[in-house]
Amino acid sequence: AQSVTQLGSHVSVSEGALVLLRCNYSSSVPPYLFWYVQYPNQGLQLLLKYTSAATLVKGINGFEAEFKKSETSFHLTKPSAHMSDAAEYFCAVNNYGQNFVFGPGTRLSVLP
């Protein structure tokens, strides 16, 4: 069975600092991986996805993630945090014929 862990339920960074949100997955076969963001009172919005074309994936709003098979990780980064990045972030895994499995989420706070 697939599973996703996200280290840190809450991460705080200063505006302009590096954002690093961690995601590790467990899957018997190489999965497809996704990062989503959720703003208050809204649904989830796709940030980026990994589908084996390239290990470094660039997404929207300056975010990127790197797939590391040896570490079973797919960490999300952004070089410089902006106040508008404050939200909840979810990592998800999916394989053919199986439903999406989401991690518990990490709430990102950006301090002025």
Partner 1 sequence: KAGVTQTPRYLIKTRGQQVTLSCSPISGHRSVSWYQQTPGQGLQFLFEYFSETQRNKGNFPGRFSGRQFSNSRSEMNVSTLELGDSALYLCASSAGTGGGQPQHFGDGTRLSIL
Binding site for partner 1 (CB under 8 A): 31-32, 34, 36, 41-46, 49, 51, 90, 94-105
For residue 9, give the DSSP letter: S
Nearer to partner 1, 73 or 105 (CB): 105
User: Min. distance of Cβ 6 from partner 1 in angstroms?
Assistant: 10
Nearer to partner 1, 23 or 81 (CB): 23
Alpha-carbon gap, residue 35 to 63, rounded angstroms:
10
Nearer to partner 1, 5 or 77 (CB): 5
Alpha-carbon gap, residue 90 to 106, rounded angstroms:
7
Alpha-carbon gap, residue 74 to 68, rounded angstroms:
6
